Structure 1
């Protein structure tokens, strides 16, 4: 895999919102809600506790972790 260059700017709320929407639509997260303070409330499954993410960078980090796990799991089953 080719490493990506580092980001030149901080992730935006719009970018985090787009990723959160994709994760929920694809059922990789049960819920992701942006609060008025800029924090994100995320829940993996309906019966699990809600986690608090401090901002857009944490949402993108979560998306990257989920994506990495999904890809590595998929490649192991081939």
Structure 2
């Protein structure tokens, strides 16, 4: 049985439907970005993520990788979305 896309959904590579991403109506707060950073570090998807007082985020993917500077909270949330997308599109279909 093949899932058919419903209104407001777009097909995924495997034929399953996933909700279409709607654009944000507001910029993410520092607290939201911090929550995502905590989750990514706790689940070992990032080695470190630190907020700087100037609004930037310092991110390190692995212990030996260079530090990446993200411009603001929006960039941190976008990174979290990219990591989620990567996880969802590369995991095995064992369900």
TM-score, normalised to structure 1, is 0.93
The unaligned stretches of length 5 or more in structure 1 are: none
1:44 corresponds in structure 2 to 61
* 4+ long deviations beyond 3 Å: none
The unaligned stretches of length 5 or more in structure 2 are: 1-17
Considering fraction of residues, name the structure with more helix: 1
TM-score, normalised to structure 2, is 0.77
Secondary structure (helix, strand or coil) at the match of 2:19 reads coil
Higher relative contact order (CA 8 A, sep 6+): 1
Q: Which has the larger radius of gyration?
A: 2
| Aligned-residue RMSD, C-alpha | 0.8
